[in-house]
Structure 1
Amino acid sequence: MSVTGSPTRGYRSDLRRRQAAETRARIVAAAAELFGELGYAGTTLARIAERAQVSVETVQKAGPKAALMRAAVEVSSFGVEERSSSPTSTRARPFSPCPTPPSWRCPWASWSPRSTSAWPVSGRR
């Protein structure tokens, strides 16, 4: 019921739903690229927004940075994002790989401690 007492009609738009899914996919792809390039600490919501060509507010509605990191890993690793009931949920979910693996690799899958000169050797500098 609305404030005036009359029933409200539900709004549903397949076009809007498709556009929202495409926007989220751009945000997650931008997040994956930036996490791979700059790491978690160097990636900001503003940088994700700039790369995805959306506003910071749109990125914030897609979820906190930790949820975007999880989504980026899922899409990069399995080609799909497992959506929970809440896009901002950060609770752990059981592992469920997609039936066919993606044809591309996670951008940071080849990282190792030896792949960067900034990593201290044996804990000494």
Structure 2
Amino acid sequence: MKNVMTKAWEIARKGATQFGGSIKSYFAEALKLAWAQIKAPVSVTVELVSGSRKYKSWVAEIVGTHAKFKFERNFINQFRGVELETNKVYTLEEGKVYDVNNVNTRYYATVRNGRLVELNESEVMELVA
């Protein structure tokens, strides 16, 4: 909460300096802008080896549980790079749980405070159940 108020006063001062008027008159709008900046989702980019036709790299968001496969997944197809020619770069958002397969290495992950954190299967089950 302190960070939001500090950021709001900073934005209000900047507005008053740039456009004139009192800092207090800018504070209400500055508070909205500060909350938006603090609440904005943080994302992390992950670069995976492109792999081959037999060993593919992919990222899937885990959206729930599945009776047969344990987890319901939505595969992410938005990556930078051309499949089978260069490495794939995915953008992962904070607050979501991912299943990452990098050729022969597979792990679960989430983004916390701007960092990629690996999870075990029981932690994933707690987050999506």
TM-score scaled by structure 2? 0.24
Q: Which has the larger radius of gyration?
A: 2
Higher strand share: 2
TM-score scaled by structure 1? 0.24
